[in-house]
Structure 1
Amino acid sequence: MNRVLALLFVLFAGVTASAQPAYPVVDPAYVIEFPRDEGSHPRFRTEWWYVTGWLETSAGSPVGFQITFFRTRPGTQEGNPSRFAAKQVLFAHAALSDPRTGKLLRGERSARAGFGLAESREGDLDVVLDEWSLRRVDGSDYRAVAIAEGFSLQLDLRASAQPLLHGKAGFSQKGPETSNASHYYSLPQLEVKGQIEISGRKEAVRGRAWLDHEWSTAFLDPQTYGWDWIGINLDDGGALMVSRMRDQHGVSRWAFGTLRTPSGTTTFEPQEIEWQPQRQWRSPRTGIEYPIEWAVRIGDRTIRLQPLMDDQESDTRGSTGTIYWEGAVTAMEEGRAIGRGYLELTGYGERLRL
């Protein structure tokens, strides 16, 4: 028996020793290509496809939506030949922000990749997790499907603008060191039409959406506690992305932004960006306090953010282990609305860990 146990120990040690991952670094010289880079990059540690947007029902009611797919390479079972080994793991979140209900409707999924039930295709956008999916169906057309308890969404999205590359041609630095970075692009101004269902009531919807896609190996530096992010479809056809990384005291460690207008695209450096909270909201479930109204300075402009509704907190401890606020917001400038999009607030309850 001791010899058998010793043999098993040697075999297990061999598997785990060979499982030490060799993650690639984010290369500033890498050239993002479409549709190739819309697909999965499984050698990198972390990746996500994030779709957010504003919908309008046939009665004119506004509804915000989010559907996100995450892929991670844990690096813990890479030498294990079993098909059941969790060499890649997929997670998904979906939510509807409906002021008629006054609370966020949300669902989540998670599974190891494989068996045709959870997959993220390389070379083109095609991510599936059970009955949830996000894929490019033809040319610049995409489809998002999520079926959760109490609600569902089935949306067709069409790209009406060119991809927006962030940072330096898609190399997006996330901290003072260039080693903390991602490959990052967005598809803003997506035209949306489809159907949502809430408590058995189906409604046709139309609207605008924003798709983010990032992949990285070392996204956060050790002192980053969380981030604030906005993606705004501007009424003039442009797009605005602004984000900052915060330490445990709420002080900005890094910031970056991209603004597309009819006259061109501008990239903003950390010193050109300032986030000033305007109003707090405390979750009645978790007790976490979030700054849900902001004044965000980018260059010589100040954009004010107003939420569609206060309660847009997502508790996803059943999948990614995080609690965050992700909500539909209106962008205001000099007292008038200039666009609509989404605000994401992470790391306000405890440090965000990817």
Structure 2
Amino acid sequence: MSARRGWLLAGLALLTGGCAEPAPAPSGGFAGLGQESEGFARVVPGRAFAFPVDHGAHPDFRIEWWYLTANLRDAEGRDYGVQWTLFRNALRPAADAAGWGNGNLWMGHAGLTTRDRHWSAQRMARGGVGQAGVVAAPFEAWIDDWSLQGDPAGELRARASGSGFGYRLRLQAEGPLVLQGEQGYSRKSAGGQASYYYSQPFFRAEGVLDIDGREVAVTGTAWMDREWSSQPLAADQHGWDWFSLHLDDGRRLMLFRLRHAGGGAFLSGNWIAPDERIAPLGEGEIRLRPLHTTHVAGREVPTRWSLAIPGDGLEVEVAAINPEAWMDLDTAYWEGPVRVTGSAGGIGYLEMTGY
């Protein structure tokens, strides 16, 4: 998540047949992912995470994703955003078989955003034949010629390309992996739906963007999210707004809002302090509301937000660097870099689905 921030899109594409148009929320929740997932493993509190094993795939669960976003700048001070995501979706329990009997489908999304342009690309693959996959150690996630390679707790390399754009980035971790939610157990509804979720929010980034055949050297910050689950939504949840923010004072903030079809939302988040301490945020501690919408791809999408966490003295606006950052793929959604102003400054990423 998503910014992703970006985290149920593989299931959406597969369960909706790749429909890019807005649709009513099904009775089983957004993309059917609020339905019971008989035969798959369940997310429960108290799991002990283990690395590097958990960098790899979790075939007992129905869906998971490897998700990277980066806020970058060139020598002239121009802003860029980059996204790299790989999703695994199991069509049935015990899907991890060899060859064409494998029941996993893989999907990759890549994006690049400037202040006035946005590019996106997609890759699809069937599991079991080497076209896509993840290896825990040494870590590699790939689909076709797109890849993440290295160590999420150390140095990582990212590459992807599409029509008119591409990027090659080197990422260096300057802090530890972070367990989101309650020691990695991330609640998604009051009814108990949840995912396992950890992040690497401490990457420094440098590399090269390819924009219409022109190379641009960039530096900046990056954030990697890892989640897996089998039933991550409640039956009436039909979309989300997902933020990952780097504040200028060294704090980092992850928060999300899962919207209910009948009104209301479930909110959750985590503060990550400069000294790396983690502080979970409950629903009553977060105030989040849209301030302005942009008409993009036939939808009204909120591209400027008011965000307050009164208990920590935070009162800011979060605004899209490019309000037109629409991922025009089989599964369509908004995703792009944002800037933070107010009681704290900063940058980050925002992902929004279901509009």
Q: Is the 8 A contact 1:210 1:233 kept in 2?
A: no
Does 2:170 match 1:185?
A: no
**Counterpart secondary structure, 1:262:** coil
**Counterpart secondary structure, 2:61:** coil
Q: Is the 8 A contact 2:95 2:103 kept in 1?
A: yes
State the Cα deviation string for residues 159-191 of structure 1 (Å, max 9, x = none). 11122211110000000122x100001111311
Letter in 2 for 1:230: F
Counterpart CA distance in 1 for 2:45 and 2:93 is 28
Letter in 2 for 1:293: R
Mapping of 1:201-220 within 5 angstroms?
Answer: 201-220=214-233
1:347 corresponding residue in structure 2: 354
1:266 corresponding residue in structure 2: 279
Counterpart CA distance in 1 for 2:272 and 2:153 is 23
Q: Which runs of 5+ in 1 are unaligned?
A: 1-19, 349-354
Q: Is the 8 A contact 2:184 2:198 kept in 1?
A: yes
2:183 corresponding residue in structure 1: 169
State the Cα deviation string for residues 52-71 of structure 1 (Å, max 9, x = none). 12111233211111111111
Mapping of 1:64-83 within 5 angstroms?
Answer: 64-75=81-92, 78=95, 83=99
Counterpart CA distance in 1 for 2:269 and 2:146 is 31
1:84 corresponding residue in structure 2: 100
Deviates most, 68-77 or 154-163: 68-77
Q: Is the 8 A contact 1:268 1:299 kept in 2?
A: no
Q: Is the 8 A contact 1:40 1:125 kept in 2?
A: no
Q: Is the 8 A contact 2:178 2:198 kept in 1?
A: yes
Compute the displacement of 1:316 (Å).
2.0
Q: Is the 8 A contact 2:287 2:307 kept in 1?
A: yes
Compute the displacement of 1:74 (Å).
1.1
1:26 corresponding residue in structure 2: 43
TM-score, with structure 2 as normaliser: 0.84
Compute the displacement of 1:27 (Å).
2.2
State the Cα deviation string for residues 209-249 of structure 1 (Å, max 9, x = none). 11111001111110101111100112222210011110125
Counterpart CA distance in 2 for 1:186 and 1:77 is 27
1:12 corresponding residue in structure 2: none
2:292 corresponding residue in structure 1: 279
Compute the displacement of 1:112 (Å).
0.6
1:328 corresponding residue in structure 2: 337
**Counterpart secondary structure, 2:284:** helix
Letter in 2 for 1:103: R
- From 81, 84, 94, give the equivalent of 2:110: 94
Structure-2 change in CA distance of 1:135 and 1:108 (3 Å):
same
State the Cα deviation string for residues 280-323 of structure 1 (Å, max 9, x = none). 0011xx31110110012224322310111111111221xxxx22
1:8 corresponding residue in structure 2: none
Q: State the aligned residue count.
A: 316
1:311 corresponding residue in structure 2: 324
Structure-2 change in CA distance of 1:325 and 1:279 (3 Å):
same
Counterpart CA distance in 2 for 1:190 and 1:173 is 25
Mapping of 1:138-149 within 5 angstroms?
Answer: 140-149=154-163
Compute the displacement of 1:138 (Å).
8.5
Q: Is the 8 A contact 1:225 1:245 kept in 2?
A: yes
Q: Which has the higher contact order (CA 8 A, sep 6+)?
A: 2
Structure-2 change in CA distance of 1:137 and 1:29 (3 Å):
closer
Q: Is the 8 A contact 2:152 2:200 kept in 1?
A: no
Counterpart CA distance in 2 for 1:250 and 1:201 is 46
Counterpart CA distance in 1 for 2:151 and 2:184 is 24
Compute the displacement of 1:251 (Å).
2.1
1:108 corresponding residue in structure 2: 122
Structure-2 change in CA distance of 1:238 and 1:227 (3 Å):
same
Counterpart CA distance in 1 for 2:252 and 2:41 is 30
Does 2:305 match 1:294?
A: yes
Q: Is the 8 A contact 1:277 1:292 kept in 2?
A: yes
